[in-house]
Structure 1
């Protein structure tokens, strides 16, 4: 199952990008034997200032056709890392070939795109900067692959 992070905003060089690249590499390495990956990132930017609706349209175009969609949203489901790993495994085992994980802009995800989502995930009630949300998401993807592989990275 190919995994796509579709996010509003461009990530610049720096600590966040270094962490994302590290966890992405770890995920690809660990997930390969599990039928997970590769991981790709599609960044969109509304240069015309169209707001949430314009960002939603750009994100929608970044989602592969037929992909399972999971939004990252403060109103989403709180789940443990093992539960997240099991959700990924379930989608993979059901024949999902592409999973799109959506991170919206400063105003959130367009309601039309949010309504199309198969699932919605929350990192908690707090709102996180989008770049940190990407770091946390890539780390959780690596952690999920490690859990499914039976590796000792996750200690519950």
Structure 2
């Protein structure tokens, strides 16, 4: 299975970079994983709704340029479906069984994802109704993907 994370912005904090690298290393046992970073656009203080939409659209275009036609796209969206770790594991497993072996997870910037990206998504996933920093979300997502593979293989880690 090939898993790509298409994300907005760079990771500046060493502790987050270390955690991401650790999960990327652990995942290499189960799948091919890569991260594509697209530039985040600066949001002015007190940006209008129109300005925010334009920023999301610009980031969205950069995201969509990095999604291949054969990618099954899972967008992280606060209004997406919430799953248990076991159900998330089942989702990834079923996608592979159904021939969807090129997954692209999309993490938007601080304003979220554009309508164009959400329309391209095959599945919308929410980790919580809470808002998380998009940089931290990379770590959380990679950990859950790793956990999902461990669950499917019946390997210790989950509990």
The two structures share one fold, judged by TM-score above 0.5: yes
Question: Helix, strand or coil: the match of 2:3?
Answer: strand
TM-score normalised by structure 1 residue count = 0.91
Instruction: Note closer, same or farther for the CA distance 1:120–1:19 as it changes in structure 2 (3 Å cut).
Output: same
Which blocks of at least 5 consecutive residues in structure 1 are unaligned?
Answer: 32-36
TM-score normalised by structure 2 residue count = 0.89
Residues 18-97 of structure 1: pairs in structure 2 closer than 5 A? 18-29=18-29, 31=30, 37-46=31-40, 51-97=55-101
Which blocks of at least 5 consecutive residues in structure 2 are unaligned?
Answer: 44-53
Q: For 2:110 and 2:19, how far apart are their aligned partners in 1?
A: 22
Aligned residues: 149
Q: For 2:139 and 2:73, how far apart are their aligned partners in 1?
A: 19
Q: For 2:41 and 2:75, how far apart are their aligned partners in 1?
A: 22
Match of 1:110 in 2: 114
C-alpha RMSD over aligned residues:
1.4
Q: Deviations over 1:99-136 (max 9, x none)?
A: 00000011110011101211111110110001110010
Runs of 4+ off more than 6 Å: none
Question: Helix, strand or coil: the match of 2:112?
Answer: coil
Question: Helix, strand or coil: the match of 1:21?
Answer: helix
Q: CA deviation at 1:97?
A: 2.8
